[in-house]
Structure 1
Amino acid sequence: MNLLFANDRPGEYPASYYAATAAPLAEFAPLQGDTRADVCVIGGGYTGLSAALHLAQAGRRVLLLEAHRVGFGASGRNGGQVGSGQRLDQDAMERIAGVENARRYWALAEEAKALVRTLITDHAMPVRFHPGVAHACWSAREVRDAHAYAEKLHREYGYDQLEPLDRNGIRDLIGSEAYHGGEIDWGAGHVHPLNYAIGLAQAATGAGAVIHERSLVHSITHGTKVVVQTDQGRVTADQVILACNGYLGGLEPKVAAKVMPINNFIVATEPLGDRAADLLAQPVAVADTKFVVNYWRLSEDNRLLFGGGESYGWAFPDIVKTVRKPMLEVYPQLRDARIDYAWGGTLAITMNRLPCFTRVAPNVLSASGYSGHGVAMATLAGKLMAEAMRGQSERFDLMAALPQPRFPGGVALRWPLLVLAMTWFSLRDRLGV
């Protein structure tokens, strides 16, 4: 089973709120026949589109291949949160990489957020950046840890964008009694994810990149010149970028052993009108501290977009049932709210939740496995791979130096072993331990 087609119709966006409110974008024609490129980018999400944009701006002949539509995968379906830092906190980064390198990884993550905002502005993209992401803690201990971490970031990293919230503060912000406190990160923010991907595609083609949609890559032949084969065409390129994330499949086993696809789900309620202000007093996004994270925000027409629940098989479950349960744990007052949209998508995680930057071959680079932290980091990953393709590989190599263990059991057994692990952590969420 190919995840590219397991739950979706070929060449179509899922029936999501994002697709229903997407900026118009004419389809790009499929690849036909043989062609040449300096760089062939495989995958039309944030990573691939950012790489194509930055390479085209540098004067490279860039051709991007996407199996469906640009932004079809996680880039057009996610919660839209543009988070701070790496996926792990700086305490963990310091243990893994040492204090000096941890500071460099923090600086890269800060650059990633700034890059999203700059690209939106510079290219007049059809999307707004909304500042503010709140973190809601399920226990008093988590609140103490979060506030201590905010102090550390201020003291040691000069980051002063975190506003601590006690129990009354989080309740006043999100209108729920479920949480003990938390914080707002005013240096983070949120966007309409599909419109951001569309904006990247428009910017890339405006810079000279060529995009082909409905062009599934089924083989790569490595060598001094790399040959990329689709059903109807073939690209011979000097260099290749793999930007496939959760939809990589068996295209590159070296990456697949370290990157695991999982499914996540979101629902959109009916427009809530004046009720919306009781759910979020400010136009921020929210994520909580459960292992299987709940995350939400209001749309511009006052729908609640709520994400929660995961699955690890091929087929999506009953999405409304899967997401409605955690939504009502946070907002029982929405029991009567109609669900107008429900959709799922496939993202990619790694064993340690840090992104997987890999030099597959001297002229083939890959970045993926953002583990739910990809809006900013995937955008930066594309820029870093574009730099590396032009001989400036220091920053790519820094990301590639992060340890990336393989999933136990190899490609064949990683999925059932992951299911066992995730089931255990989901049980811990339910038990509150």
Structure 2
Amino acid sequence: MTDLLTANDRPGAYPASWYAATVDLPQPRPALSGEIRADVCVVGAGYTGLSAALHLAQRGLRVVVLEASRAGFGASGRNGGQLGSGQRVGQRELERLIGRPGARRLWELGEEAKGLVRHLVAAHGIDCHLRPGIAHLGHSDAERAEIHEEATYLAAEYGYDRIETLDAEAGHALCPSPVYRGGALDMGAAHLHPLAFALGLARAAEAAGARICENSRVVEVMEGPEPAVRTAQGLVRADHVILAGNGYLGGLNRQIAARVMPINNFVVATEPLGDRAAEVLTRDVGVADTKFVVNYFRLSHDGRLLFGGGESYGYRFPADIAALVRRPMLKVFPQLSDVRIEHAWGGTLAITMRRLPYLARVAPRVLSASGYSGHGLGLATLSGRLMADAVAGEAEGFDAMAAIPTVPFPGGTALRSPLLVLAMSWYALRDRLGV
């Protein structure tokens, strides 16, 4: 079976990306060696695991984080950097799925997630270019109307007044692309440099007393009243275990594997645009559109277009990521046909059937959070804190997220990928046909 950790990346190294090229990458931390004792062992050093480690350490607990590669190596260091409001699913759909009270609590947790990211950036002096504003743009008048209806509903029913609706003219004034017909601009959402944020969380967790062991791949999680976590080099015995591997968790837990599936997404960074940046965006905000395979983009702090688009559902990335992403990029911005792409990279995230995160007590003293479905910057950071709270006996927030109804992928782990490819290919075809 193909190994996700090594299929596309060099073991123990950050992937080449514009993000990695624009931060000071730390020296590798020592791997776990021998047997040690901790109050909590955290598996995975992305946003979820680092946030859990930070908040646990701040409570005075002994925390060991086991990371198979480097802190922020996975989706946390490669994503589009968009800090969205609410959940991946709209509020009216959530209300139909779980009822008004549950949907309202999830909205509150979504707002809490954004606030937590902002707090952590400020409290720990994380220089990650945090800026307000995410626009949601539609490809048709009907899609624009639907976006406006959701904004009106949020204002009326949830008191959320941070969204400015955009007609076709206002949308074009913000984003001079010929394919969009307006939408909305959420100034309560934000965008940032995702790898810089992850590295800042790692430094903050260590400063609080957590120990991060890199190049320490977990090979077994031993459940029971006294759980333990084994790597090739050592063993951690702990009172509690937190599974925070998301798309890279692999087969460490079958319950999670049945409900959380890794997929790949891709991003490019153009050459600096200079004065031509106004051909992309006239304000420093991020954008996500209404395609099923979402196009998302923003301008970097050095004036490049960062554009994400395209997905794959196998293990390996395509040979030419730049060519793959250039196609949707030029559909959105045909005026940039002469602009060079200087960086291109892929990342593995994780989705669930309903595009809502999967939080669960998968065994006594073992908690897990994953499956953020492209909405993980805020929700992963919050989920880490919610698991820290639950370990400390304050489980209300964790239980609210864990109450989201989840279903396994059809066919289990053996057939979920082929079936998903068929479904995703159908939706991708609808995108191309404009259906």
Specify the TM-score bucket, using the shorter chain as the normaliser.
over 0.9
Displacement, 1:24? 3.9
Distance in 1 of aligned mates of 2:173 and 2:324: 27
1:326 aligned onto 2:342: no
Equivalent position SS for 1:106: helix
1:71 aligned onto 2:72: yes
* Root mean square deviation of aligned Cα: 0.7
Counterpart amino acid of residue 374 in structure 1: G
- The 8 Å contact of residues 120 and 128 in structure 1, kept in 2 or not, is answered as no
Equivalent residue for 1:194? 195
1:423 aligned onto 2:425: yes
User: Per-residue CA shift, 1:272-309, capped at 9, x if unaligned?
Assistant: 11111221100000000000000000111101000000
Displacement, 1:389? 0.5
Q: Name whichever of 223-232 and 208-217 sits farther off.
A: 223-232
Q: Name whichever of 287-296 and 329-338 sits farther off.
A: 329-338
The count of residues paired between Structure 1 and Structure 2 equals 433
Structure 1: 5+ residue stretches without partners: none
- The 8 Å contact of residues 68 and 218 in structure 2, kept in 1 or not, is answered as yes
Displacement, 1:128? 2.6
- The 8 Å contact of residues 295 and 308 in structure 2, kept in 1 or not, is answered as yes
The percentage of counterpart residues that share the same residue type is 62
Equivalent residue for 1:103? 104
Equivalent residue for 1:30? 31
Equivalent position SS for 2:240: strand
Equivalent position SS for 1:324: helix
TM-score of the superposition, structure 2-length normalised?
0.99
Displacement, 1:353? 0.2
Equivalent position SS for 1:267: strand
Flag as ranges the 4+ runs of structure 1 deviating above 4 A. none
- The 8 Å contact of residues 223 and 364 in structure 2, kept in 1 or not, is answered as no
1:222 aligned onto 2:216: no
- The 8 Å contact of residues 74 and 347 in structure 2, kept in 1 or not, is answered as yes
Displacement, 1:398? 1.1
Displacement, 1:321? 1.3
1:237 aligned onto 2:238: yes
Equivalent residue for 1:5? 6
Distance in 2 of aligned mates of 1:305 and 1:128: 14
**From 394, 397, 404, the counterpart of 2:396:** 394
Counterpart amino acid of residue 63 in structure 1: V
Distance in 2 of aligned mates of 1:258 and 1:309: 22
Counterpart amino acid of residue 352 in structure 1: R
Displacement, 1:219? 0.7
Counterpart amino acid of residue 393 in structure 1: A
Equivalent residue for 1:133? 134
Displacement, 1:212? 0.5
Distance in 2 of aligned mates of 1:313 and 1:89: 28
Equivalent residue for 2:380? 378
Displacement, 1:373? 0.1
User: Superposed, which structure 2 residues align to 1:8-23 within 5 Å?
Assistant: 8-23=9-24
Distance in 2 of aligned mates of 1:104 and 1:227: 34
- The 8 Å contact of residues 221 and 230 in structure 2, kept in 1 or not, is answered as yes
Distance in 2 of aligned mates of 1:127 and 1:319: 25
Equivalent position SS for 2:102: helix
Counterpart amino acid of residue 429 in structure 1: D
Distance in 1 of aligned mates of 2:23 and 2:113: 24
User: Per-residue CA shift, 1:126-182, capped at 9, x if unaligned?
Assistant: 213100001110110011111111111001100000001111111111111111111
Distance in 2 of aligned mates of 1:288 and 1:98: 27
Equivalent residue for 1:291? 292
Equivalent position SS for 2:259: coil
- The 8 Å contact of residues 134 and 285 in structure 1, kept in 2 or not, is answered as yes
- The 8 Å contact of residues 138 and 289 in structure 2, kept in 1 or not, is answered as yes
Counterpart amino acid of residue 34 in structure 1: E
Counterpart amino acid of residue 140 in structure 1: D
Equivalent position SS for 2:308: strand
Counterpart amino acid of residue 314 in structure 1: Y
Equivalent position SS for 1:271: coil
User: Per-residue CA shift, 1:401-427, capped at 9, x if unaligned?
Assistant: 101100000011100000000000000
Equivalent residue for 1:148? 149
Distance in 1 of aligned mates of 2:15 and 2:72: 11
Equivalent residue for 1:336? 338
- The 8 Å contact of residues 129 and 301 in structure 2, kept in 1 or not, is answered as no
Displacement, 1:335? 0.8
Distance in 2 of aligned mates of 1:28 and 1:126: 21
Equivalent residue for 1:345? 347
Equivalent residue for 1:117? 118
**From 410, 420, 425, the counterpart of 1:408:** 410
1:255 aligned onto 2:224: no
Distance in 2 of aligned mates of 1:300 and 1:393: 39
Displacement, 1:196? 0.2
1:365 aligned onto 2:367: yes
- The 8 Å contact of residues 23 and 198 in structure 1, kept in 2 or not, is answered as no
Distance in 2 of aligned mates of 1:402 and 1:24: 37
- The 8 Å contact of residues 46 and 197 in structure 1, kept in 2 or not, is answered as yes
Equivalent position SS for 1:257: helix
Distance in 1 of aligned mates of 2:217 and 2:408: 26
- The 8 Å contact of residues 23 and 126 in structure 1, kept in 2 or not, is answered as no
User: Per-residue CA shift, 1:214-238, capped at 9, x if unaligned?
Assistant: 1000111111111111111111111
Displacement, 1:25? 2.3
Distance in 2 of aligned mates of 1:128 and 1:181: 26
Equivalent position SS for 1:183: strand
Equivalent position SS for 1:316: coil
Distance in 2 of aligned mates of 1:400 and 1:184: 30
Equivalent residue for 1:206? 207
